[in-house]
Amino acid sequence: RKKIAIMTSGGDSPGMNAVVRACVRMAIHMGCDAYCVYEGYEGLVRGGDLIKKMDWYDVRGWLSEGGTLIGTARCMAFYERAGRLTAAKNMILNGIDALIICGGDGSLTGADRFRAEWPSLLDELVSTGELTAEQIHAYKHLNIVGIVGSIDNDLSGTDATVGCYSALARVCMCVDLIEATASSHSRAFVVEVMGRHCGWLALMAGVATGADFIFIPEKPREDNWREEMCNVVQEHRKLGKRKTIVIIAEGALDKFGNKISSEQVRDLLADKDGLALDTRITTLGHVQRGGTAVAYDRMLATLQGVEAVKAVLEATPETKTCFIAITENKIVRKPLMEAVLDTKEVAKAIESQDFDGAMALRDAEFSE
């Protein structure tokens, strides 16, 4: 009987529990044993109770639970070869050689490395007498499949990551709440949203709430962003708008690559010699990440979980490590490292202030 393990890693995102539920149930449906690794890579390294066999009913009700019920952690030990050696040993002692990981690009890159190193880890375990040749015999290859769980929607090659639409819904709900009080007091609000180096949440929230102005890393503002923003806001005020909403991504930059902060934007809107708006900052923070998943994320997680089990069962030593994407509404398998490298190219272009290059890469990604 094939034994498939599922784990969540990196920052949690809504829908991760639905991924775990789908993988566990699909694995059982396919006649395999399903395992959950608790606490991300930490669980692989520590083993013991953190690697647990799951039954069909263990994941009952998980669709509507927020966060990740099997825990997640940033595991320093797994960065070291010694940690990965122990992880490999724990997997073999539990009879596991197929792993589905739901996490961000960092977690999935770690998984690809683990897979590449697997044969040499096994050799070392045998040569140091930790395991015998008989013990490793049936575990020559490690099959790994990734599912991207992140609120940032920052991985190239997939239209949506599990959790991004839930976070977007939360941001929109919060902006709606803020709008009521903004309008009552005729105030301006600078709403800071998450996303790390990616502006997807800020951009989509801007579109979905009709914000007056947005700041995102991929399209930095020209040097005259101050006048530009004030003109737009003033225009809207002239049309009778009693509320001003500016959405700023936490990674927002100007065209010189300098960070634009919420405080800078607030001070400008409040400037006595300018618009003189009574202005507040609301940093939404982790409310964007916690809480239950919207229907789209539950559905995406379920479809991707099912596909991940199929992919892990069909993988051969020759196939590249893949992740499950959604492209033009189809659930597809894609090579993991290509997507990770494309994502890094965008980040690199932004870092080196090649903003046209970054936009071209993102455009190419959307028209893929």
Under the binding rule (CB under 6 A), the answer on residue 161 touching ligand F6P is no
- 361: its two tokens: 């890469």
- The Cβ of residue 81 has, within 10 Å, a number of other Cβ atoms equal to 12
Find the length of the chain. 368
Give me the residue label for tokens 């769980």: 149
Contact status: 152 vs ligand F6P (CB under 6 A): yes
For ligand F6P, which stretch binds (CB under 6 A), given 53-61, 146-154, 231-239, 305-313? 146-154
The answer to whether 195 is annotated as binding is: yes
User: Does residue 11 belong to the site contacting ligand F6P (CB under 6 A)?
Assistant: yes
Q: Which is nearer to ligand F6P, 11 or 43 (CB)?
A: 11
Stretch that binds ligand F6P, among 33-41, 149-157, 272-280, 322-330 (CB under 6 A): 149-157
Q: Confirm or deny that 163 is annotated as ligand binding.
A: no
Q: 61: annotated binding-site residue? A: no
Rounded distance between C-alpha atoms, residue 46 and residue 31, angstroms:
27
Alpha carbons 300 and 160: distance in angstroms, whole number: 9
| Residue 74 marked in a binding site | yes
Q: Which of 97, 152, 154, 212 is catalytic?
A: 152
- Could you say whether residue 143 binds ligand F6P (CB under 6 A)? no
Nearer to ligand F6P, 104 or 305 (CB): 104
43/195 with CB nearer ligand F6P: 195
Q: Residue 54 and residue 35: Cα distance in Å, rounded?
A: 5
Minimal distance in Å, beta carbon 15 to ligand F6P? Answer: 13
CB of 89 to ligand F6P, least distance (A): 29
Per the annotation, the verdict on 152 as an active-site residue is yes
What is the token pair recorded at 269? 């809107």
DSSP 293: P
Please tell me the distance from the alpha carbon of residue 143 to that of residue 317, in angstroms, as a whole number: 8
C-beta separation of 367 from 352 below 8 A: no
Q: What is the DSSP letter of 162?
A: B
Q: Which residue is nearest to ligand F6P (CB)?
A: 194
Among 16, 99, 151, 340, binds ligand F6P (CB under 6 A): 151
Closest by CA position to 262, among listed 248, 278, 279: 248
Which string of x and - marks every residue 283-312 that binds ligand F6P (by CB under 6 A)?
A: ------x-----------------------
Beta strands of the chain (E only): which ranges? Answer: 3-8, 33-37, 51-54, 98-103, 143-148, 188-193, 213-215, 244-249, 279-283, 322-327, 330-335
104 carries a ligand binding annotation: yes
Give the interface size with ligand F6P as a residue count (CB under 6 A): 10
Of 145, 96, 97, 142, nearest to 120 (Cα)? 142
DSSP 246-264: EEEETT-BBTTSPBPPHHH
Each residue 169-208 as x (binds ligand F6P by CB under 6 A) or -, in order, gives -------------------------xxx------------
> Look-up: residue for tokens 């290059």?
357
36 residue type, one letter: C
Identify which of residues 11 and 157 has a Cβ nearer to ligand F6P in the complex: 11
β 213-215/143-148 pair status: unpaired
Would you say 70 is a known binding-site residue?
A: no
Q: Between 174 and 275, whose beta carbon lies closer to ligand F6P? A: 174
Tokens describing residue 117: 């190193």
| 164 contacts ligand F6P (rule: CB under 6 A) | no
Any binding-site annotation on 107? yes
Residue ranges for the known binding site for substrate are 150-152, 187, 194-196, 250, 280, 286-289
Q: Which residues bind ligand F6P (CB under 6 A)?
A: 11, 104, 150-152, 194-196, 250, 289
Residue ranges for the known binding site are 11, 74-75, 104-107, 150-152, 187, 194-196, 250, 280, 286-289
Give the residue numbers annotated as catalytic, written as ranges.
152
